[in-house]
Structures are given as structure tokens and as C-alpha cells.
């Protein structure tokens, strides 16, 4: 079937998705243009911001791709104080970002859980709860997820990394701390508690096929998630997966494949929130813009105090590490205007798909 015919279909089957993911050149452009059109028709040209606060790089896990894995001794470990996190949130509010996202290496001890709960209460006090709060703090018990929800978090990101169990265990150690089924259970718990739940995968992993990527997209559709984040895999020299760096697609291919994943998902789930991940900008200076033009509608500018950013390198050469928050602010506004998009300030920017579902 020709690309145009597939693009005219109401419902994409797995073989359609694989065909779209294999498009090149002009056919790929058709796909991207269609996704942009669908996004503009359903969500307008708005881009939502989430000020990213990287709370700590201390992690109990050791994912084989991640630079801050516990088995990497070359990382200087840090944790922001409660006050530092709240300060970042205040800055987000001042800059007109309607939302913050708190991300951290995974910890589940009581001290950590209580600290997050207190931080949530304090952020909620800023201007009468005007900031939206997304958490990205890994796997936790259902009870902890519930506690944080009650304390004011309303979105949670937990990437599945790959929905293919076999591939999952090729990119994670096989032990109880990295259990594929536990991860699935966590995503289900988040959905049932009522979080706007986000998940996602890395694109261009060793051993990853187009069929696996198509299954990832179908997984997002079946779970009916509200948000998705997908970015290119970037091999980190201090991690075991670096050994396969010469067996993965080229930078350009990984970028294009990420754009195709975003575009196809926009066709499949027209009203979800999709982030233009920083990893895109890391491998291509125009990566974030390209992701927005392929169907993404969220950007997460970094608000972490600059002195810590060098230590939160989940992958090498991360973009914007030396930019001051105020610089990111004006840079982003200009960059989005240049591609005909408009940042929506002072708004939570909830997923339209989620809002409709829960009405």
C-alpha cells in the first residue's frame, strides 16, 4: 500500500505502523506533514512548558543505558534540598511556566517519600496552587503513588523503555529491581489512581526492530495514556550498552526514526501530550523544533541549578547544560515563534485526551 493510502486510514494496524516507520525522504515528509496537520487541527499551535527540576542523581537501579546508574562510580552524587526545589518551582512560576516536572534517580525509602510529600505541599502553596506538578520518580508502591497524588501531584511519567519483555531485559539487569512486570503494574496503578499518566520509550536501542517499535505505539494506545515521551537512545561511555554503540542506527537515522514515531503516534492518539525530549536536541541542534513539527506539543526546559546539571548526565553531551533558566526562557520563545508555534504561559497545559476522558 502506498504511504498516502495508509495515511488516509482511520485506524492504523500493526503492518500500517511498520510501513509508516520505514518511510524515507518524500514519503516520510508526507507522514510528518500529516501529523502536523492533525496536531494543529486538534490542539492548535500551542506548546506547553514543564520546568524540569532534576532533584537527585542518586539511584538504586542500574539500567544498562543510564549514565547515573548506581554502578557508575564516575558520578558525583547530589540531592537538592527541599528549599532548593521550592526555589526552582518559584522561578518556574515567575517565568510563567504553568507547570513543573520533578525528576530523580529512583529511591523509595521513607525519608525520600516524606521529603517529596513535603515538597509537594509547599509547591502547592505557591500562588494558591497555580503550578501544575508532574512527578518522574520511578517505581513506587501504590500507596506512595496515592500519597503523592493526594499531596498535589497530578501527572506522573514512567517510561516503559520498551514494551517488549525480551528487549527490556537486554537493556536492564535481570533482577528484582528491574522487573518488567513490576513496571507494567506501576503504570496500571498510576492510571487507576487518576494521574495523567505518561510513558515512553527510547528509539534506536540495540536489538530494537521496527516491529518492536510498532508494538510500543500500540501499547500506548491500548493503555490509553495521556502523555508520551520518546527520544533517541544516546550511548553513554560509562554504561554497559556502550559496547553496542557501533551496532545502532546512525545519529541521523535515530533522529528520523524518533520523528516518525512521534508522527505516527500523533495520528493514532491525536489529543495526547507528547514531549519534544531534550535528547532530540542533544543529537541535533534543531531536534526539538523538528519534534514539534512532527507532532510533539510539550517542552521541558531545565530549571535545575546550574552547578548540579553536569552531574545529571543520563546520556553524554546533554543540551542546554550551561544555559541559565532565564536564557532558556527567551531562547525557547523565539525558537517556537520561528516555527509558527506559540508557548502557552501560565497554564497547566493538561492533556486534552485526558480531560475529555475524565469529564
Binding site for ligand FES (CB under 6 A): 59, 61-63, 66, 68-69, 105-106, 138
What pairs with residue 276 in β-bridges?
A: 230
Q: Which is nearer to ligand FES, 17 or 66 (CB)?
A: 66
Decide if 295 contacts 262 (C-beta within 8 A): yes
Which residue of 12, 49, 65, 133 would you call a contact of ligand 5AD, by CB under 6 A?
65
- CB of residue 33 to ligand FES, shortest distance in Å: 36
| Closest alpha carbon to 61 in 161, 134, 128 | 161
Q: What is the dihedral of CA 314, 318, 324, 326, to 10 degrees?
A: -100
Q: Which residues contact 192 (CB under 8 A, 6 or more apart)?
A: none
DSSP label at residue 127: G
- Residue 219 binding target from ligand FES, ligand 5AD, none, CB below 5 to 8 Å by type: none
Q: Which residue has the cell 495508509?
A: 6
Candidates 231, 287, 295, 325: give the one binding ligand 5AD (CB under 6 A).
231
User: Of these partners, ligand FES, ligand 5AD, none, which one is at the site of residue 180 (CB under 5 to 8 Å by kind)?
Assistant: none
Residue 280 grid cell: 532530540
Identify the bridge partners of residue 202 per DSSP, sorted by sequence position: 231
Q: How far apart are CA 296 and CA 35, in angstroms?
A: 9
Residue closer to ligand 5AD, measured from CB, 124 or 309: 309
The CB-of-233 to ligand 5AD minimum distance in angstroms stands at 5
Kindly tell me which of 3 and 232 has the beta carbon lying closer to ligand 5AD: 232
Residue owning grid cell 521541558: 300
Give kind and range of the element (H or E) at residue 170. helix 165-171
Minimum distance between the CB of residue 211 and ligand FES, rounded to whole angstroms?
A: 25
Conformation bin of residue 80: beta by default, left when phi > 0, alpha when psi is -120 to 50? beta
- Does 202 bind ligand 5AD (CB under 6 A)? Our answer is yes
Considering only residues 145, 233, 348, 354, which one is a binding residue for ligand 5AD as defined by CB under 6 A? Answer: 233
Q: Which residue lies nearest ligand FES, judged by its C-beta?
A: 63
- What are the φ/ψ torsions at residue 232 (nearest 5 degrees)? -70, 145
Site stretch for ligand 5AD (CB under 6 A), options 119-127, 170-178, 229-237, 290-298: 229-237
Query: In the complex, what is the shortest distance from the CB of residue 152 to ligand FES, in angstroms, rounded to a whole number?
Result: 24
- Judged by beta carbon, residue 124 or residue 223, the one nearer ligand 5AD is 223
Q: Which is nearer to ligand FES, 39 or 69 (CB)?
A: 69
In the block, which residue shows the cell 537515522? 253
Residue 234 interacts, among ligand 5AD, ligand FES, none and using kind-specific CB cut-offs from 5 to 8 Å, with ligand 5AD
Sole binder of ligand 5AD in the list 34, 93, 236, 288 (CB under 6 A) = 236
| DSSP assignment string, 280-301 | HHHH-TTHHHHHHHTT--EE--
Sheet with 227-232, strands from edge to edge, namely 51-56, 99-104, 132-136, 155-157, 196-203, 227-232, 273-276, 298-299, 46-49, 342-343
Q: Is 300 in the site for ligand 5AD (CB under 6 A)?
A: no
What is the closest distance, in whole angstroms, from the C-beta atom of residue 283 to ligand FES in the complex?
Answer: 20
Could you say which of ligand 5AD, ligand FES, none residue 138 binds, taking C-beta under 5 to 8 angstroms by partner kind? Answer: ligand FES
Q: Summarize as ranges the residues that interact with ligand 5AD (CB under 6 A).
A: 65-66, 159, 161, 202, 231, 233-234, 236, 279, 314-315
Amino acid at each position: 500500500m502506498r504511504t498516502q493510502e495508509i495515511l488516509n486510514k482511520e485506524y492504523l494496524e500493526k503492518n500500517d505502523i511498520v510501513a509508516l516507520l520505514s518511510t524515507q525522504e518524500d514519503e516520510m515528509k508526507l507522514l510528518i506533514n500529516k501529523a502536523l496537520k492533525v496536531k494543529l487541527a486538534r490542539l492548535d499551535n500551542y506548546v506547553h512548558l514543564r520546568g524540569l527540576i532534576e532533584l537527585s542523581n542518586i539511584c538504586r537501579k542500574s539500567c544498562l543505558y543510564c549514565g547515573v546508574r548506581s554502578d557508575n562510580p564516575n558520578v558525583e552524587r547530589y540531592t537538592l534540598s527541599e528549599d532548593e526545589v521550592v526555589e526552582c518551582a518559584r522561578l518556574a512560576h515567575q517565568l510563567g511556566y504553568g507547570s513543573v516536572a520533578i525528576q530523580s534517580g529512583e529511591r523509595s525509602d521513607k525519608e525520600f517519600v516524606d521529603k517529596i510529600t513535603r515538597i509537594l505541599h509547599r509547591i502547592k502553596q505557591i500562588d494558591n496552587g497555580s503550578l501544575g506538578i508532574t512527578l518522574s520518580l520511578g517505581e513506587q508502591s501504590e500507596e506512595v503513588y496515592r500519597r503523592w497524588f493526594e499531596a498535589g501531584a497530578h501527572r506522573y511519567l514512567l517510561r516503559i523503555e520498551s514494551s517488549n519483555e525480551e528487549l527490556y531485559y537486554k537493556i536492564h539487569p535481570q533482577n528484582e529491581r528491574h522487573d518488567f512486570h513490576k513496571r507494567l503494574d506501576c503504570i496500571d496503578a498510576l492510571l487507576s489512581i487518576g494521574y495523567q499518566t505518561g510513558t515512553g520509550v527510547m528509539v534506536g536501542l540495540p536489538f530494537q526492530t521496527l516491529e518492536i517499535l510498532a508494538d510500543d505505539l500500540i501499547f500506548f494506545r491500548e493503555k490509553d495514556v495521556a502523555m508520551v515521551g520518546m527520544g533517541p537512545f544516546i550511548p553513554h561511555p560509562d554504561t554497559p550498552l556502550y559496547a553496542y554503540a557501533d551496532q545502532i542506527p546512525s545519529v541521523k537515522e535515530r533522529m528520523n526514526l524518533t520523528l516518525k514515531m512521534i508522527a505516527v503516534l500523533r495520528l493514532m492518539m491525536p489529543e495526547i501530550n507528547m514531549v519534544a525530549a531534550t535528547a532530540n536536541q542533544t543529537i541535533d541542534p534543531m531536534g526539538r523544533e523538528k519534534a514539534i513539527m512532527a507532532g510533539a506539543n510539550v517542552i521541558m526546559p531545565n530549571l535545575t541549578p546550574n552547578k548540579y546539571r553536569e552531574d545529571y548526565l543520563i546520556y553524554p553531551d546533554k543540551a542546554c547544560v550551561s544555559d541559565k533558566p532565564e536564557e532558556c526562557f527567551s531562547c525557547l520563545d523565539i525558537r517556537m515563534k520561528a516555527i509558527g508555534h506559540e508557548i502557552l504561559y501560565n497554564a497547566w497545559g493538561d492533556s486534552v485526551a485526558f480531560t475529555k476522558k475524565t469529564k
